[in-house]
Amino acid sequence: MYSWWYPDWYNGQSYVGRSRPDGEPEAGRDVTDPQKRLARAVAEALFDDAAVTGGQFDLSVQNGVVILDGEADTEASRSAAVARAWSVPGVRDVCNALAVKKRRR
């Protein structure tokens, strides 16, 4: 499972200092498990999409089904994350459990 947080100052550019779960190979090394490879591809796509601008996302993959959970800052960011996940080759379905973060007044 990949989980990450976008700080409020995120400006839409790719974040270079991406954290990896323990036991994951370093960037650039091949991942042999197809589910892990697909999860990594989806995570990279979401990181690189300027329209996915904020929130906290949990990502997992089971049998080609991408499961997105957590909170997005806006409805546009939520929709962009789902569309971007669908665009990754090998994705069979996307389970969208993302909520839109409620703003404090």
Question: Cα-flanking dihedrals φ and ψ of residue 61, to 5°?
Answer: -135, 130
What is the model's pLDDT at position 92?
A: 95
What is the model's pLDDT at position 100?
A: 93
Say if 105 falls within a structural domain.
no
Say if 72 falls within a structural domain.
yes
Structural domain range at position 80: 2-100
Say if 70 falls within a structural domain.
yes
What is the model's pLDDT at position 1?
A: 54
What is the model's pLDDT at position 26?
A: 52
- Give the chain's domain count: 1
What is the model's pLDDT at position 32?
A: 73
Instruction: Tell me the residue type at 42.
Output: V
Q: Name beta bridge partners: 99.
A: 71
Are the C-beta atoms of residues 14 and 47 closer than 8 Å to each other?
yes
Listed as ranges, residues in the chain with pLDDT below 70 are 1-31, 104-105
Q: What is the pLDDT of residues 56-86, one digit of tens each?
A: 899 999 999 999 999 999 999 999 999 999 9
pTM of the model: 0.69
